[in-house]
Amino acid sequence: MEKSEHVLLTGAGADDFAKYQGLDIVDNSYFFTERRWKSYEKVKARQKVENEKHGTVGAVALDLHGNLAAATSTGGMTYKMKGRVGDSPIIGAGTYADNNTCAVSATGHGEYFIKNVVAYDISALMKYTGVSVKEAANYVILDKLKQINADGGIIAVDSLGNYTMTFNTAGMYRGVITSDGLNKVSIFGE
């Protein structure tokens, strides 16, 4: 996207742009996996849309120069509507970083995270109210989203290296590594 003024491309337009940029284009069969096909078939056979969990992978980082970064990738929603785009690629919804506040990677029901601009909301709360990354995340995930029955969580780090891994579900796979030697992996509450 460094060769375009646009922020997000999908479908045929994204394909055309990739070809024009000289990227290797592969047949869609390249992305086929038996496991995901069976999962799709299982849901389709039940004739109802169901959100099977396949996981989001997110990362946030603070480097030694004070730069913050966030990245989010997801397995997506099984049997979703054709053309549906979730929160992961939406800057401000599933991913956001601002060197002055924090870096956030989110996971959960994407539509709610998009409508509530969750990742940006955490950063904005820090910027405009002066609360900590933990306080901002707790408000957005544990109060705001919970009030509308939206499940999910975030990992975030601020510009001072303070981090939070806040979620409103039974568990969320998460881990942290710090420069002072902390190396921790968790699933359920602390």
| SS3 of residue 49 by DSSP | coil
- 55 neighbors 173 (Cβ within 8 angstroms): yes
Q: Which of 10, 33, 56, 129 is catalytic?
A: 56
List the structure tokens of 87. Answer: 């929160």
Please tell me the distance from the alpha carbon of residue 64 to that of residue 81, in angstroms, as a whole number: 42
> How buried is residue 108: exposed, middle or buried, by Cβ count under 10 Å (0-12/13-18/19+)?
buried
Identify whether 33 is a catalytic site residue.
no
Q: For residue 51, what are the contacts with CB-CB under 8 A and spacing of at least 6?
A: 77, 78, 109
| SS3 of residue 97 by DSSP | strand
Positions marked active-site: 56
